[in-house]
Amino acid sequence: MLKLYVCEDNTEQRNHIKKVIENIVLMEDYDMELECVTENPHTVLEKVKVSENVGIYFLDIDLNSDMTGLVLAQEIRKYDPRGFIIFVTTHSEMSYMTFMFKLEALDFILKDEPDDMDKRIYECILKANQRFASANNKVQTNYSIKVADKVYTVDYDEILFFETSANVHKIILHCKNRQMEFLGKIKEIEKELDDRFYRCHRAFLVNKDNIKEVDLQNNVIYMVNGDQCLLSYRQAKGLRGFFKKAN
């Protein structure tokens, strides 16, 4: 999932950009989320520091703060090197500064023509989505599922385990921060994934990278976030490195 950020000190402009972004995400049905809309660059930075997602950042340059949009972009790069930075400003003379700061900005949008600005915002979101998907597909690091009419792309790092649902022909995908149910079969999913995923039970397919420990006494696998999944006795040998130590 891509997270979207807007940092703009002008309230009217900030609300307009927010509305444009919301309409684009809704219209295109992208797996994106508006994470932060604010006038305060420090608020953006605090959220970026704890986020595990790649972001799309729409930043004004003059924020009437102790931090300019250019400095904010520099700080963002420390925590989100893959992020997409777009400057939306009236200061056309500042465009050359983005090169001096080595920010690799996706675009530099001027506010002078509102209709053109909306179009450019749309093009930036479209381009960022395409580049994000392309980069992830070079080395398989994500899994795509279809829920209703929407396709979600989930990073392997976010996946805890897949579980057969009580609902016929459906699978529950357990992630660190959410769950999704979709049509599928454990056996078929297992074939699509790499060797970090292990069939620990006839109804469970676990991501070994997110295992905290394995309790053989109770045949339970504990995940990094506290979630649990079942382990069959015959499959336990494949998880020896995670066995809970006896007290």
Boundary of a domain, candidates 92, 114, 138? 138
Residue 246 pLDDT level (bands cut at 50, 70, 90):
very low
What is the dihedral angle through the alpha carbons of 168, 174, 177, 178, rounded to the nearest 10 degrees? Answer: -10
> What is this structure's pTM?
0.58
Compute φ and ψ for 229, nearest 5 degrees: -140, 165
Domain that holds residue 180: 142-242
Q: What is the pLDDT of residue 52?
A: 84
More confident residue, 138 or 234: 234
Q: Is residue 94 part of a domain?
A: yes
Boundary of a domain, candidates 103, 138, 173? 138
Q: Which of 89-93, 142-146, 150-154 has the lowest mean pLDDT?
A: 89-93
Instruction: Check whether 225 has a pLDDT greater than 90.
Output: yes
pLDDT tens, 30-82? 889 999 999 999 999 999 999 988 999 999 998 999 999 999 999 999 999 88
Q: What is the pLDDT of residue 244?
A: 57
Cβ-based neighbours of 185, under 8 Å, separated by 6 or more = 169, 171
Q: Is 54 helix (H, G, I), strand (E, B) or coil?
A: coil
Instruction: Check whether 91 has a pLDDT greater than 80.
Output: no
Asked whether residue 111 falls in the same domain as residue 166, the answer is: no
Q: Is residue 126 part of a domain?
A: yes
Q: What is the pLDDT of residue 222?
A: 94
Mean pLDDT along residues 102-126: 87
pLDDT tens, 228-239? 999 998 888 878
Q: Is residue 247 part of a domain?
A: no
